[in-house]
């Protein structure tokens, strides 16, 4: 009998060579097949990618019992729906890399009357990031957000939704979206993952709308929903002041081939609690511009990677101080600098992509997040792109969860 080719969707089964409606009884069952993908570096196990299979059982008076397996690809289904939403749209779907950042140094210079603090910091984008898929939605009422990890809010408290609402408010755009967030950057890490997601959403919405706004306008608007978001509209390296929203783009001050490792315990530091414990009179008095000049001239070293939030963060989470001390001691000169990013709780080791052995051997650290990374930037009028297959693990025993 000639083979039949089926396209399955949520409403119908179509056949190119026969009419499925001629069968009196049709039953569906779901199974899964797996493709193995191998990862090196931290990799310990093969990675499995899941593909849904639909098995169709059919019988009729004039036919024998038949079985057909159909591959169901959810991504392809969403892509087809997106194409049907607006055939005239210049862009109907978009997948973007949403990288995080580290603070190479972070000085807190004063407390403001509005309760915020003024800071001076060298922000730099790194190659660890999330992936966000955007598709036009037929809805004119709301966006629909999904994600691959639990605990991420999916309503309008999420910075992605806030950013899309902000864009519509500023431009009058009537476009709404399906968004899927493949989360790889840990939350509560001091890496600005949520801020990056918001900036990426603003950039995406602007592409879907034919670039109604300039990047400068997007950058200015973004400060209304988060202090760190404007930084991501730099080219990847910037000296940031004010609450963080005053962004001075810099030529890349650090080599792109300089590796690093990120080590984050499962505990997060409350940013509010860290700032509450900050004592400005006990902070070092070095001029942040001196730090910037030294990094530009001599590169990264332990003495320039100053973070005024480390001491209060270590009070909030004493185990974080012990982790930093052990990394420095175990590194034996392996790292050019070891420091905390932002308000924590990620410890960064610059100079090597490899974590110290005790992270693998000590049960206390079996649930830490690990990732290698490097410094990256972006070209003018383009968004950030993932430079290579990053390796990140939720624990030393697991391989990377690829996005």
Catalytic center residues: 101, 228
Contacts of 231 (CB under 8 A, 6+ apart): 101, 123, 192, 195, 238, 240, 244, 247
Among left, alpha and beta (phi > 0; psi -120 to 50; other), residue 115 is: left
Reduced to 3 states, what is the DSSP secondary structure of residue 383? coil
Structure tokens belonging to residue 234: 């730099």
Rounded CA separation 86/360 (Å): 51
CB 164 within 8 A of CB 201: yes
**Rg of the chain on CA atoms, in Å:** 25
DSSP for 203-253 reads: HHHHHHTT--S-HHHHHHHHTTT-SSGGGGGSSSEEEEETTTTEEEE----
Q: What is the torsion angle, in degrees rounded to the nearest 10, for the CA atoms of residue 66, residue 69, residue 70 and residue 72?
A: 140
């Amino acid at each position: 009998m000639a083979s039949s080719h089926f396209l399955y969707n949520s409403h119908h089964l179509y056949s190119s060579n026969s009419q499925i409606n001629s069968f009196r009884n049709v039953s569906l069952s779901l199974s899964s097949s797996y493709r193995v993908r191998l990862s090196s570096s931290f990799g310990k196990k093969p990675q499995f990618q899941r593909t849904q299979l639909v098995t169709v059982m059919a019988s009729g008076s004039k036919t024998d019992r038949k079985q057909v397996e159909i591959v169901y690809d959810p991504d392809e289904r969403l892509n087809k729906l997106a194409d049907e939403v607006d055939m005239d749209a210049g862009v109907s779907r978009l997948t973007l890399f949403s990288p995080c950042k580290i603070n190479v140094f972070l000085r807190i210079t004063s407390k403001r009357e509005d309760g915020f603090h003024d800071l001076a910091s060298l922000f730099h984008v790194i190659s660890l990031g999330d992936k966000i898929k955007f598709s036009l939605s037929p809805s004119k009422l709301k966006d629909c957000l999904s994600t691959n990890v639990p605990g991420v809010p999916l309503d309008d408290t999420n910075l992605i939704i806030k950013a899309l609402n902000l864009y519509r408010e500023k431009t009058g755009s009537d476009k709404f979206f399906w968004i899927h967030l493949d989360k790889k950057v840990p939350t509560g890490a001091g890496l600005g993952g949520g801020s990056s997601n918001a900036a990426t959403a603003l950039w995406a919405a602007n592409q879907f709308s034919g670039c109604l706004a300039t990047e400068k306008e997007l950058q200015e608007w973004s400060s209304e929903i988060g202090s760190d978001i404007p930084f991501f509209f730099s080219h990847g390296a910037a000296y940031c002041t004010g609450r963080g929203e005053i962004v001075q783009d810099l030529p890349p001050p650090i080599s792109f081939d300089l590796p690093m490792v990120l080590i984050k315990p499962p505990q997060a530091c409350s940013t509010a609690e860290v700032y509450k414990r900050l004592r400005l009179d006990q902070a070092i008095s070095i001029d942040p511009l001196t730090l910037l000049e030294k990094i530009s001239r001599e590169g990264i070293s332990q003495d320039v990677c100053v973070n005024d939030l480390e001491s209060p963060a270590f009070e909030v989470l004493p185990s974080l101080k012990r982790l930093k001390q052990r990394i420095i001691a175990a590194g034996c000169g392996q790292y050019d600098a070891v420091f905390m990013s932002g308000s924590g709780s990620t410890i960064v080791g610059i100079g090597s992509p490899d974590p110290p052995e005790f992270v693998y051997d000590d049960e206390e650290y079996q649930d830490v997040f690990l990732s290698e990374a490097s410094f990256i930037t972006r070209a003018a009028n383009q968004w950030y792109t993932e430079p290579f297959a990053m390796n990140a693990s939720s624990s030393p025993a697991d391989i990377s969860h690829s996005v």
